[in-house]
Amino acid sequence: MSPLAVAETQPKNRLVGVELDEGSIARSGADVEHERATAIWDLIEENSFTPVGHDGGPWRLRLGFVENRLAFEISDESGTPVTAHLLSLTPFRKIVKDYFLICESYFAAIRTATPSQIEAIDMGRRGLHNDGSQVLMDRLADKVAIDFDTARRLFTLICALHWKG
C-alpha cells in the first residue's frame, strides 16, 4: 500500500504529533527521557482526539505548564494553531503524588516482594492511573473529545512532565 493510501485510511480525529514544552520539563537522565519518548510514541500510535467545535484534523499537541496550569496547545497537522486550553493542576496534584509514591513502592517491591505482593501494588498503580485518566477526561469534556485509552496515554504524559529523574 502506498504512503498516500495509508494516510487516506487514517482517521482525521487523531493526534499525529505530540511535543512536551522543553521549558516545562527538567533535564533528566536517559531512563526518564526514554520513558517520555515511549509515552509520546504510544500516544501517537493509537489515539482518538478531536478539539470540540473544530472539524478537520489530524492534530498536533504541545503539552506544558503555563503559570502553574497545564497547557494544551492544539494545532492542525501543518502546525497552524487551532486552540489552546489551560487546565488547573489542582485536581491532578494528589493523584500524581500518590501515583509516584505507588510507582516507587512498585519498583522497590520488584527486588524483594512476592509476586502476589507485586501484583497487588501494580493493581493499585493501575487504579490511580485510571483515576487520573478519568479526571483528565472530565476536565477536557467540553474542550477535546477523547476516549479513555487516549486519556490514559495523556495522563502518562502529564506525569512525564512531573518526572524529575
Mean pLDDT of all residues in 138-156: 95
129 vs 27, residue with greater confidence? 129
| pLDDT of 5 over the 80 cut | no
Contacts of 6 (CB under 8 A, 6+ apart): none
SS3 content of the chain, % helix, strand, coil (to 5): 55, 20, 25
Nearest to 66 by CA among 92, 88, 39, 90: 88
The gap between the terminal CA atoms of the chain, to the nearest Å, is 42
Whole-angstrom CA distances from 118 to 33, 103, 107, 127 are 25, 11, 9, 14
Distance CA 131, CA 129 (A): 5
What's this model's pTM, rounded to 2 decimal places? 0.86
Number of domains in the chain: 1
| pLDDT of 4 over the 50 cut | no
pLDDT at site 6? 41
Distance CA 53, CA 140 (A): 13
| pLDDT of 28 over the 90 cut | no
**pLDDT digits over 52-69, tens only?**
999 889 999 999 999 889
| pLDDT of 32 over the 80 cut | no
* Structural contact between residues 139 and 11, judged by C-beta atoms closer than 8 angstroms: no
**pLDDT digits over 66-109, tens only?**
988 999 999 999 999 999 999 999 999 999 999 989 988 988 99
23 vs 117, residue with greater confidence? 117
| pLDDT of 25 over the 50 cut | yes
Range of the structural domain that residue 135 is part of: 3-162
Read off the DSSP letter of residue 13.
S
Q: Which residue has the cell 520539563?
A: 25
